[in-house]
Structure 1
Amino acid sequence: MKAKELVTEFYQSDALRNSEVIKQFLHDNMEFHWYSSKGFLKMDKNDLIELSNEMYRSYTSSRINISHILEEENKVSIRYSYFVTPFENPGEEVVLAHFMTIWELKDNKLYRGYQMSQLS
Protein backbone atom coordinates (compact mmCIF):
# COMPACT_ATOMS: atom_id res chain seq x y z
CA MET A 1 0.00 0.00 0.00
CA LYS A 2 1.30 3.46 -0.86
CA ALA A 3 2.02 5.86 1.99
CA LYS A 4 -0.75 8.28 1.02
CA GLU A 5 -3.29 5.45 0.85
CA LEU A 6 -2.31 4.19 4.29
CA VAL A 7 -2.59 7.64 5.90
CA THR A 8 -5.92 8.26 4.17
CA GLU A 9 -7.22 4.91 5.41
CA PHE A 10 -6.02 5.73 8.94
CA TYR A 11 -7.91 9.03 9.08
CA GLN A 12 -11.04 7.69 7.36
CA SER A 13 -11.24 4.76 9.76
CA ASP A 14 -12.44 5.19 13.31
CA ALA A 15 -8.87 4.83 14.63
CA LEU A 16 -8.88 8.09 16.58
CA ARG A 17 -11.77 6.73 18.70
CA ASN A 18 -11.07 2.99 18.52
CA SER A 19 -7.97 1.63 20.24
CA GLU A 20 -8.18 -1.72 18.45
CA VAL A 21 -8.13 -0.02 15.05
CA ILE A 22 -5.37 2.48 15.92
CA LYS A 23 -3.05 -0.37 17.00
CA GLN A 24 -3.12 -1.76 13.46
CA PHE A 25 -1.68 1.46 12.00
CA LEU A 26 1.03 2.38 14.54
CA HIS A 27 4.61 1.11 14.40
CA ASP A 28 5.79 -0.36 17.72
CA ASN A 29 8.56 2.28 17.95
CA MET A 30 6.31 5.15 16.88
CA GLU A 31 6.98 8.70 18.14
CA PHE A 32 4.52 11.56 17.86
CA HIS A 33 5.53 15.21 18.36
CA TRP A 34 2.47 17.41 18.87
CA TYR A 35 2.60 21.20 19.03
CA SER A 36 -0.83 22.40 20.15
CA SER A 37 -2.22 25.75 21.20
CA LYS A 38 -1.80 24.42 24.76
CA GLY A 39 1.86 23.36 24.48
CA PHE A 40 4.11 20.52 23.31
CA LEU A 41 3.52 16.79 23.77
CA LYS A 42 5.81 13.91 22.84
CA MET A 43 3.86 10.69 22.67
CA ASP A 44 4.54 7.03 21.94
CA LYS A 45 2.25 4.25 20.72
CA ASN A 46 0.74 3.61 24.16
CA ASP A 47 0.02 7.33 24.64
CA LEU A 48 -1.89 7.49 21.34
CA ILE A 49 -3.83 4.35 22.21
CA GLU A 50 -4.84 5.92 25.53
CA LEU A 51 -5.81 9.15 23.72
CA SER A 52 -8.01 7.06 21.42
CA ASN A 53 -9.71 5.52 24.48
CA GLU A 54 -10.24 8.99 25.94
CA MET A 55 -11.81 10.22 22.70
CA TYR A 56 -14.15 7.21 22.73
CA ARG A 57 -15.23 8.04 26.29
CA SER A 58 -15.71 11.76 25.53
CA TYR A 59 -17.61 11.79 22.21
CA THR A 60 -20.49 9.79 20.75
CA SER A 61 -19.12 10.16 17.21
CA SER A 62 -16.42 11.88 15.21
CA ARG A 63 -15.45 12.54 11.62
CA ILE A 64 -12.55 14.09 9.77
CA ASN A 65 -12.70 16.48 6.84
CA ILE A 66 -9.41 16.23 4.90
CA SER A 67 -8.61 19.35 2.90
CA HIS A 68 -5.06 18.50 1.75
CA ILE A 69 -2.95 15.36 1.56
CA LEU A 70 0.46 15.19 -0.11
CA GLU A 71 2.95 12.34 -0.48
CA GLU A 72 6.70 12.38 -1.01
CA GLU A 73 8.51 9.05 -0.80
CA ASN A 74 7.68 7.58 2.65
CA LYS A 75 6.28 10.84 4.07
CA VAL A 76 2.71 12.14 3.96
CA SER A 77 1.42 15.57 4.94
CA ILE A 78 -2.25 15.91 5.81
CA ARG A 79 -4.37 18.93 6.74
CA TYR A 80 -7.77 18.24 8.28
CA SER A 81 -10.51 19.41 10.61
CA TYR A 82 -11.78 17.09 13.33
CA PHE A 83 -15.52 17.15 14.08
CA VAL A 84 -17.00 15.55 17.21
CA THR A 85 -20.39 15.02 18.82
CA PRO A 86 -20.13 15.43 22.61
CA PHE A 87 -22.12 13.21 24.96
CA GLU A 88 -23.47 16.33 26.65
CA ASN A 89 -25.10 17.51 23.42
CA PRO A 90 -25.69 14.54 21.09
CA GLY A 91 -27.66 16.64 18.60
CA GLU A 92 -24.78 18.98 17.81
CA GLU A 93 -21.60 18.27 15.88
CA VAL A 94 -18.78 20.74 16.57
CA VAL A 95 -15.30 21.33 15.18
CA LEU A 96 -12.87 20.23 17.88
CA ALA A 97 -9.69 21.48 16.17
CA HIS A 98 -7.78 21.96 12.93
CA PHE A 99 -4.64 19.91 12.30
CA MET A 100 -1.57 19.78 10.09
CA THR A 101 0.37 16.53 10.41
CA ILE A 102 3.40 15.03 8.71
CA TRP A 103 3.79 11.26 8.97
CA GLU A 104 6.88 9.22 8.18
CA LEU A 105 6.14 5.56 7.47
CA LYS A 106 8.28 2.53 8.22
CA ASP A 107 7.34 -1.10 7.56
CA ASN A 108 4.01 0.16 6.16
CA LYS A 109 3.07 1.66 9.56
CA LEU A 110 2.94 5.18 11.01
CA TYR A 111 6.42 5.65 12.48
CA ARG A 112 7.13 9.35 13.15
CA GLY A 113 4.45 12.03 13.41
CA TYR A 114 4.83 15.80 13.61
CA GLN A 115 1.59 17.67 14.26
CA MET A 116 0.42 21.21 14.84
CA SER A 117 -3.12 21.94 15.96
CA GLN A 118 -5.37 24.83 16.83
CA LEU A 119 -8.59 24.56 18.79
CA SER A 120 -11.65 25.73 16.93
Structure 2
Amino acid sequence: MTPKELVLDFYKSDVILRKNEVQEFLHTDLVIEWNSTKGFVLLNYHDVLNLTEELSKAYVRSKMRITHVIEEGNMVSVRYSHFVKTIENPREEMLLAHFFVIWEIKDGKLYRGYQMSQFS
Protein backbone atom coordinates (compact mmCIF):
# COMPACT_ATOMS: atom_id res chain seq x y z
CA MET A 1 0.00 0.00 0.00
CA THR A 2 1.39 3.43 -0.90
CA PRO A 3 1.52 6.23 1.67
CA LYS A 4 -1.28 8.03 -0.22
CA GLU A 5 -3.49 4.92 -0.19
CA LEU A 6 -2.87 4.49 3.55
CA VAL A 7 -3.90 8.07 4.30
CA LEU A 8 -6.99 7.87 2.07
CA ASP A 9 -8.05 4.63 3.80
CA PHE A 10 -7.64 6.33 7.19
CA TYR A 11 -10.01 9.11 6.16
CA LYS A 12 -12.72 6.75 4.93
CA SER A 13 -16.17 7.33 6.35
CA ASP A 14 -16.56 6.50 10.06
CA VAL A 15 -13.09 5.02 10.61
CA ILE A 16 -12.31 7.77 13.15
CA LEU A 17 -15.26 6.56 15.25
CA ARG A 18 -13.96 2.99 15.55
CA LYS A 19 -11.01 2.57 17.91
CA ASN A 20 -10.03 -0.89 16.63
CA GLU A 21 -9.77 0.37 13.06
CA VAL A 22 -7.94 3.58 14.01
CA GLN A 23 -5.43 1.53 15.99
CA GLU A 24 -4.44 -0.38 12.83
CA PHE A 25 -3.35 2.84 11.10
CA LEU A 26 -1.25 4.35 13.91
CA HIS A 27 2.43 3.84 14.60
CA THR A 28 2.94 3.23 18.34
CA ASP A 29 5.39 6.19 18.40
CA LEU A 30 2.80 8.49 16.78
CA VAL A 31 2.98 12.22 17.49
CA ILE A 32 0.56 14.83 16.14
CA GLU A 33 1.31 18.52 16.41
CA TRP A 34 -2.09 20.18 16.06
CA ASN A 35 -2.66 23.91 15.74
CA SER A 36 -6.37 24.58 16.15
CA THR A 37 -8.54 27.62 16.69
CA LYS A 38 -8.34 26.77 20.40
CA GLY A 39 -4.54 26.61 20.48
CA PHE A 40 -1.73 24.07 20.19
CA VAL A 41 -2.25 20.41 21.10
CA LEU A 42 0.36 17.66 21.12
CA LEU A 43 -1.14 14.18 20.78
CA ASN A 44 0.45 10.75 21.07
CA TYR A 45 -0.83 7.28 20.15
CA HIS A 46 -2.95 6.88 23.30
CA ASP A 47 -4.34 10.43 23.05
CA VAL A 48 -5.64 9.70 19.55
CA LEU A 49 -7.29 6.47 20.69
CA ASN A 50 -8.92 8.35 23.59
CA LEU A 51 -10.09 11.05 21.17
CA THR A 52 -11.61 8.32 18.99
CA GLU A 53 -13.56 6.99 21.97
CA GLU A 54 -14.85 10.49 22.81
CA LEU A 55 -15.90 11.16 19.22
CA SER A 56 -17.78 7.85 19.05
CA LYS A 57 -19.82 8.90 22.10
CA ALA A 58 -21.02 12.10 20.43
CA TYR A 59 -21.33 11.20 16.74
CA VAL A 60 -23.06 8.41 14.84
CA ARG A 61 -21.45 9.26 11.48
CA SER A 62 -18.22 10.88 10.39
CA LYS A 63 -17.32 11.87 6.86
CA MET A 64 -14.22 13.55 5.49
CA ARG A 65 -14.66 15.45 2.23
CA ILE A 66 -11.16 15.58 0.79
CA THR A 67 -10.37 18.34 -1.68
CA HIS A 68 -6.59 17.93 -2.06
CA VAL A 69 -4.10 15.08 -1.61
CA ILE A 70 -0.40 15.39 -2.41
CA GLU A 71 2.13 12.59 -1.97
CA GLU A 72 5.89 13.02 -2.00
CA GLY A 73 7.95 10.06 -0.86
CA ASN A 74 6.75 9.03 2.60
CA MET A 75 4.88 12.34 3.16
CA VAL A 76 1.21 12.91 2.32
CA SER A 77 -0.63 16.23 2.61
CA VAL A 78 -4.42 16.30 2.85
CA ARG A 79 -6.93 19.14 2.87
CA TYR A 80 -10.44 18.17 3.94
CA SER A 81 -13.64 19.18 5.69
CA HIS A 82 -14.97 16.98 8.49
CA PHE A 83 -18.74 16.44 8.61
CA VAL A 84 -20.57 14.61 11.41
CA LYS A 85 -24.02 13.48 12.45
CA THR A 86 -24.71 13.76 16.17
CA ILE A 87 -26.42 11.20 18.36
CA GLU A 88 -29.06 13.84 19.18
CA ASN A 89 -29.81 14.57 15.51
CA PRO A 90 -28.62 11.67 13.31
CA ARG A 91 -30.48 12.91 10.24
CA GLU A 92 -28.66 16.22 9.94
CA GLU A 93 -25.08 16.39 8.71
CA MET A 94 -23.09 19.30 10.11
CA LEU A 95 -19.68 20.69 9.27
CA LEU A 96 -17.37 20.23 12.24
CA ALA A 97 -14.19 21.90 10.93
CA HIS A 98 -11.79 22.38 8.04
CA PHE A 99 -8.39 20.64 8.24
CA PHE A 100 -5.00 20.56 6.61
CA VAL A 101 -2.54 17.88 7.67
CA ILE A 102 0.87 16.65 6.57
CA TRP A 103 1.47 13.00 7.45
CA GLU A 104 4.82 11.26 7.66
CA ILE A 105 4.50 7.51 7.10
CA LYS A 106 6.86 5.04 8.79
CA ASP A 107 6.64 1.24 8.70
CA GLY A 108 3.35 1.52 6.77
CA LYS A 109 1.69 3.51 9.58
CA LEU A 110 0.83 7.12 10.38
CA TYR A 111 3.91 8.29 12.28
CA ARG A 112 4.05 12.11 12.46
CA GLY A 113 1.18 14.47 11.81
CA TYR A 114 1.35 18.24 11.45
CA GLN A 115 -2.24 19.48 11.48
CA MET A 116 -4.10 22.77 11.38
CA SER A 117 -7.85 23.19 11.78
CA GLN A 118 -10.51 25.83 11.99
CA PHE A 119 -14.07 25.43 13.18
CA SER A 120 -16.75 26.10 10.62
Deviation (angstroms), 1:13: 4.9
- 1:27 corresponds to: 27
Alignment of 1:1-120 (within 5 A): 1-120=1-120
How many angstroms does 1:14 deviate by?
2.8
* 1:12 match: secondary structure: coil
Task: Answer whether contact 2:13 2:61 (CA < 8 A) is retained.
Answer: no
Unaligned runs of 5+ in 2: none
| Identity among equivalent pairs (%) | 49
Q: CA RMSD in A?
A: 0.8
How many angstroms apart in 1 are the aligned matches of 2:21 and 2:13? 8
Letter in 1 for 2:73: E
The residue identity in structure 2 corresponding to 1:38 is K
TM-score normalized by structure 1? 0.97
CA contact (8 A) 1:14 1:21 kept: no
> Which stretches of structure 1, 4 residues or longer, exceed 2 Å deviation after superposition?
none
Q: Is the 8 A contact 1:82 1:97 kept in 2?
A: yes
Q: How far apart, in 2, do the equivalents of 1:7 and 1:87 lie?
A: 27
Q: How many residues align?
A: 120
Cα distance in 1 for partners of 2:7, 2:84 equals: 20
SS at match of 1:90: coil
Tell me the SS of whatever aligns to 1:83. Answer: strand
